[in-house]
Chains A and B, each alone.
Chain A
């Protein structure tokens, strides 16, 4: 595979499948190389003292601390609480958002009637509710649940509303001339149209839910990895702080990959996914 010295980004896209696949493998190796460069760079900065090792311990120490954590039961407990809080809040937001979205979206009157309220409530930052949930639930997981639910719900609702509104008028009219009942219309006309939007909603909401779950743990003190980070930092255990941040980052990566996987599985028939595979 010779590379011609053109700086043309569209070239690989137009290439034959075989060269593209080997190109993709090359890309993967480059990605690994990039990660290694960053890790080595951070290690060097710390070892040589360019950055104060008290603030940025060597990467090897972070990972030593990470492996130590892996052997502790309390770490797994925190991990479980964080993931559970995320999953429960996200599931509730998805269920509620899709349901409300279908109901509001299917009626023109409801759509127009609720529009101003949705547009007003949506940008209200969910962290504004922190003092309120603290008063109501203290450090119980319910605090985190409410914040996650509020933040993720609007993401889902708005996407579902777009999706339901995006139904092809011809398809809708066709369904009507075949005298489909409302349930049948919902299942075979609205649902396939809205599904890509629901999946987008899932991807966005999954990321937002994790942010709010960690925020609640860090700021309010709901048990979980976020609280552990706060404790590690205030007790001066710097390597462990970084180790936990790395864990949380990896959870974030896993969440993104999971959301993309679900999207691809659910939309295997959709042109946007099929053109990527073909």
Chain B
């Protein structure tokens, strides 16, 4: 009985991915098309292409830039967002400007930042990632702080909680579901910008490597790069999910109770 359930679970989890992989394998098996090399070739190329040296020289720097830029955006976004959210006047003053900056598609920042910082070093890339990630976090923090339950803030005030304690124990936790929403949007934008920022100028990095493969028509290598990038995206999303479910466990539980589940 239990084994049967386990088997069903495994089938549900792995069934479709295996079918799709098998279909890809079979469909591309005898492929002579230069753009669609057999999956077998791609998988054989993978360990040869992404050696440890290459990972250290290309992948880690990319991820480090993403990490630094993203962390900067989270810190600045939450601090500025909380400040703006708590001050209605400041919010009214800054809202149209923030809406504009949010609406600018982040990749167009690249040419602008290239003017200031050049684009060969780390600085321009980190600034690009940080600026692109900032707006979703900032605006969602503002919304989260603004949408706090009035009963909560009133209670905190009538208990004469100090400003600092109110911030740490009422405002930030209350806003955290929205902050996480913003942080999740920012993460996918960050990954996009991590890749794009490496496509300008002479560069090293994961995105730059993939495009070099494509330009030199090293197609199986290019495919391994695409797969690696996909795996990194999946991995980052998984890490994010773990952090989120840890920190928002109270919120998820509350929602379940409200829905009567």
Contact = CB atoms under 8 A, between A and B. Distances in A.
Interface of A: 7-10, 12-14, 26-27, 30-35, 37-38, 54-55, 112-117, 120, 122-132, 134-136, 207, 210-211, 214-215, 218-219, 226, 229-230, 232-233, 238, 241-242, 244-245, 248-253, 255-256
Question: Which of A12, A30, A136 has the largest count of B CB atoms less than 10 A from its CB?
Answer: A30
Nearest to B96: A31
Interface in B10-44: 12-17, 20, 35
Contacts of B110: 218
Nearest to B111: A233
B191 A215 contact: no
Contact of A31 (B92, B150, B191, B214): B92
8 contacts: A10-B153, A35-B97, A127-B191, A218-B107, A232-B111, A233-B114, A248-B104, A256-B99
A31 B154 contact: no
A120 B95 contact: no
A223 B157 CA distance: 57
B13 A116 contact: yes
Interface string B94-128: 11110111111111101110111000000000000
Contact of B16 (A9, A114, A136): A114
B192 interface: yes
A13 B85 CA distance: 14
A9 B93 contact: no
A13 B236 CA distance: 39
Interface stretch (B46-54, B67-75, B227-235, B245-253): B227-235
Contacts of A30: 89, 92-93
A93 to B, nearest CB: 15
B170 interface: no
A34 B191 contact: no
Contact of A113 (B16, B111, B114): B16
Interface in B182-197: 188-189, 191-192, 195-196
Q: Which DSSP category, helix, strand, loop or mixed, fits chain A's interface?
A: helix
A258 B23 CA distance: 41
B71 to A, nearest CB: 19
B26 to A, nearest CB: 18
A131 B35 contact: no
A250 B116 CA distance: 23
Contacts of B112: 233, 241-242, 245
State the majority secondary structure of interface residues on B: helix
A113 B102 CA distance: 37
B222 interface: yes
B100 A249 contact: yes
The 3 closest A-B pairs by CB, nearest first: A252-B103, A131-B214, A123-B237
Given A120-B17, A131-B214, A253-B103, 8 more contacts: A34-B94, A35-B96, A113-B16, A115-B13, A116-B17, A131-B226, A245-B112, A249-B103
Given A120-B234, A123-B236, A125-B191, A130 B211 contact: yes
B210 interface: yes
B99 A253 contact: yes
Contacts of B148: 9
Contacts of B88: 9, 12
Interface string B192-223: 10011001000000010011011000010010
B87 interface: yes
Contacts of B92: 26-27, 30-31, 34
B65 interface: no
B80 interface: no
A214 B105 contact: yes
Residue of A32, A55, A124, A210 with most partner-chain B CB within 10 A:
A124
Contact of B96 (A8, A12, A13, A32): A32
Nearest to B114: A233
A255 B103 contact: yes
Contacts of A35: 96-97, 100
Given A9-B88, A38-B97, A238-B115, A124 B229 contact: yes
A233 B112 CA distance: 8
B86 interface: yes
Contacts of B20: 117
Contact of B234 (A37, A123, A245, A248): A123
Contacts of B93: 30-31, 33-34, 37
A128 B230 CA distance: 7
B229 to A, nearest CB: 4
